[in-house]
Amino acid sequence: MPERIDVLKTYKLFIDGKFPRSESGRSIEVRDRGGGVAAHASRASRKDLREAVEAARRALGGWSGSSALLRGQILYRAAEMMEGKRAELAGAIVASRGANGVKQAQAEVALAVDRMVHYAGWADKFSQVLGCHNAVSGPYYNFTFAEPTGVVCVVCPPSPPLLSLVSLLAPVLCSGNTAVVIADAADPLPAAVLGEVIATSDFPAGVCNILTGDPGELVPFVASHRDIDGVHAAEVSPELAAALRVGIAENIKRTVVHGEVDWKSAACESPWWIEPFLEMKTVWHPASA
Amino acid sequence: MDGSPPELMHSRPSPPVDNVMVAQRAAEFTKRSIKKEAKVSGLLMALSMLDLTTLEGKDSVEKVRGLCRKAARPWDRDQDVLGYGVGPVAAVCVYPSLVATCAEALGPARRVKIASVATGFPSGQFPLDVRLDDTRRAVADGADEIDMVINRGAFLAGRHDEVAEEIREVKRACRRRDGSFAHLKVILETGELETLDLVRRASDLAIRAMADVDFEAGIEAPGTPDFIKTSTGKVQPAATMPVTLVMLEAIRDWHAATGRVVGMKPAGGIRTAKQALHYLVMVNETLGPVRVEGFDGCPWLTQDYFRFGASTLCNDILRQLAWLKSGRYQAGYDFSEA
């Protein structure tokens, strides 16, 4: 018997429910501790970003119109899929860090799964907590309730690669927004594996798109893109934060840029992480009817 | 050449089509690199060739008025974003009952032509006198162009003479009282014709039948600017590059044989600016070098002899122009609905 040749995985982008390579043909070399090449991942270009935003826009009507219960179930399903892929996800985190990071990686995956479950639970509850019944003078009911903002771009810090991504993404998705994730090229493999989780969790195509690439290259296009309604980012460089502010000033996006975050903390599990990407709608209804 | 008796041209058989080469050649046209200024001028050319179309059962007067406004001025923010005005497009394309609405909305001094589908669009499965009456009414209401459908049932059953006679009858019905003709576009509905050989035969048949009426009326070359058109948009596949190439070759061969000029309109399925540029490359590389007496440059690279039947294409062209100018991606709400 000849010696078996390993079948190595090609890590690709996740756009509109499919796994394309970058249209630019570029890739990222992921190096291990010893400096050897552990894997190649796709390096997204601005055109990949454009495609992802179009897919997210197309998917918005269906996803925001689906029932809150269904969205919660699908997020929970994603947590289940992550649970089944715990070893693979931990391996993807460890690939660039060496074997002594295994325990830490396993802990990160467990926390990420729990965080997904947390926001799955919020899907059919945030509206009750953040909405209200307003007292008005007259024979009317007056309600305020929350609707999703639209297409939100999630910009992740390089570390922790999986936990930060899930923490920023899940609150955006659970309320009915669609998302385009930009995962940092410094550690792209967990994001690429998460695409497979999303693909097998009953999310409609385009609801969540995951790009791996250089935020320095892509974020200026995010900022100026008129069809992105919000940006959820954390720990970005001062230059990128400035680029975001310029874009927002011009085309008005809901934008939250977290400073330094303790990703393990329960502070990352809060309806106030959902609230920035909601639009409050108030309606009047005759009380006598 | 021109003036040879029509019956002689009918005896000329359609050449066979090499499927493999057509597919390969059509694919080649998608590989040209068109950037910067060339891209802008290509996009503006495509915009000027648009037949902005609405052919839904739910079309209303107000919807068609909106379409006419869009046709006359495709983008209200053109000066702000681009620094120059764009439009108008070539024509609006509507159902016969809405032709009068278009004529009113566009006004007497309009630069946008009114095209009406007729002859029992989209199936054509109506008695001939009903189809002819449909045509006459649309012309009387002010249609500049008539988009007719051929009788595919008869064509596929081999009754080619019957199809040709019907096209001649419809073209005669396009004649106005003053003797001028509303321009005719013959829709082959290539999605139902099964093979490229049949597309070529139908193209030749339609081109010759339309020319017959020009002969009757004593119209010299280049003849009435009539068109052949791929599709209704109601059948899949609609316009494709190989089908359009075969039809362009029929037009080229007809011009070479007779000096007469027939236009081409791919319709249905062309949604992106990129696709539109691919089609223009195809026109240029098939008919671009052809020179016709009385024309500056290639007649098929003008709206007089080439059209796109589309609706969403308009906004994608505008989006691309805005991107090229500003370096910013635009949102859907930046453009009015067609």
Q: What is the pLDDT of residue A251?
A: 87
Mutate to test the interface with A, among B316, B329, B333, B334 (most CBs of A within 10 A): B329
Contact residues for B190 (Cβ-Cβ < 8 A; gap 6+): B199, B202, B230, B231, B237, B239, B240, B243, B247
Q: What is the pLDDT of residue B53?
A: 96
B2 pLDDT more than 50 = no
In chain A, the percentage of residues whose pLDDT exceeds 70 is 99
Residue B63 in tokens: 């919807």
**Tell me: the pLDDT tens digits for B277-290?**
999 999 999 999 99
Contact B209, B168 (CB under 8 A): yes
Which CATH number describes the domain made up of B6-15+35-334? Answer: 3.20.20.70
Contact B148, B126 (CB under 8 A): no
- Active-site residue, B265 included: yes
All domains of chain A, ordered by start, with CATH? Answer: 38-286 (3.40.605.10)
In chain A, the percentage of residues whose pLDDT exceeds 90 is 88
Whole-angstrom Cα Rg for chain B: 19
Size of interface A-B (CB pairs under 8 A): 20
**Tell me: the pLDDT tens digits for A212-221?**
999 999 999 9
Is A226 within 8 Å of B327 when comparing Cβ atoms? no
Q: Measure B84 CA to nearest chain A CA, in Å.
A: 21
**Tell me: the pLDDT tens digits for B216-256?**
999 998 999 999 999 999 999 999 999 999 999 999 999 99
Q: What is the pLDDT of residue B295?
A: 92
| β-bridge mates for residue B265, sequence order | B229
Q: Tell me what ipTM this predicted complex has.
A: 0.83
Contact B244, B196 (CB under 8 A): no
Task: Tell me how far apart the alpha carbons of residues B150 and B264 are, in angstroms, rounded to a whole number.
Answer: 16
- Active-site residue, B229 included: yes
**Tell me: the pLDDT tens digits for B10-47?**
557 899 999 999 999 999 999 999 999 999 999 999 99
Residue B45 in tokens: 């050319």
Is B329 within 8 Å of A50 when comparing Cβ atoms? yes
| β-bridge mates for residue A268, sequence order | none
- Active-site residue, B147 included: yes
Please state the rounded mean pLDDT for residues A180-205.
96
Task: Tell me how far apart the alpha carbons of residues A42 and A189 are, in angstroms, rounded to a whole number.
Answer: 10
- Provide the residue type at B109 as one letter: A
Whether A253 and chain B come into contact, CB under 8 Å, resolves to no
Q: Catalytic residue among B70, B113, B185, B229, which? A: B229
Residue found under tokens 């649970």: A83
Q: Which residues of B touch A224 (CB under 8 A)?
A: 327-329
pLDDT band at B9 (very low <50, low <70, confident <90, very high): low
Q: Which residues of A touch B328 (CB under 8 A)?
A: 224-226, 251
Q: What is the pLDDT of residue B1?
A: 44
Q: What is the pLDDT of residue A9?
A: 87
Q: What is the pLDDT of residue B6?
A: 52
Is B329 within 8 Å of A57 when comparing Cβ atoms? no
Q: What is the pLDDT of residue B338?
A: 64
Q: What is the pLDDT of residue A33?
A: 80
Is A225 within 8 Å of B329 when comparing Cβ atoms? yes
A100 pLDDT more than 80 = no
Task: Tell me how far apart the alpha carbons of residues B224 and B184 are, in angstroms, rounded to a whole number.
Answer: 9
Tell me which residues of chain B, numbers 36 to 75, contact chain A at a CB-CB cutoff of 8 Å.
Answer: none
A96 pLDDT more than 80 = no
Task: Tell me how far apart the alpha carbons of residues B162 and B68 are, in angstroms, rounded to a whole number.
Answer: 36
Please state the rounded mean pLDDT for residues B156-179.
96
B43 φ, ψ to 5°?
Answer: -65, -40
Contact A215, A181 (CB under 8 A): no
**Tell me: the pLDDT tens digits for B174-204?**
999 999 999 999 999 999 999 999 999 999 9
Averaged confidence pLDDT in chain A: 95
Whether B332 and chain A come into contact, CB under 8 Å, resolves to yes
In chain A, % helix, strand, coil (3-state, to 5) comes to 45, 20, 30
Tell me which residues of chain A, numbers 13 to 52, contact chain B at a CB-CB cutoff of 8 Å.
Answer: 50
pLDDT band at A166 (very low <50, low <70, confident <90, very high): very high
Helix (H) or strand (E) holding A238: helix A238-251
A236 pLDDT more than 80 = yes
Q: Which residues of B touch A226 (CB under 8 A)?
A: 328-331, 334
A99 pLDDT more than 90 = no
Task: Tell me how far apart the alpha carbons of residues B269 and B271 are, in angstroms, rounded to a whole number.
Answer: 6
Torsion angle of the four alpha carbons B56, B57, B63, B65, in this order, in degrees rounded to the nearest 10? 90
B312 pLDDT more than 50 = yes
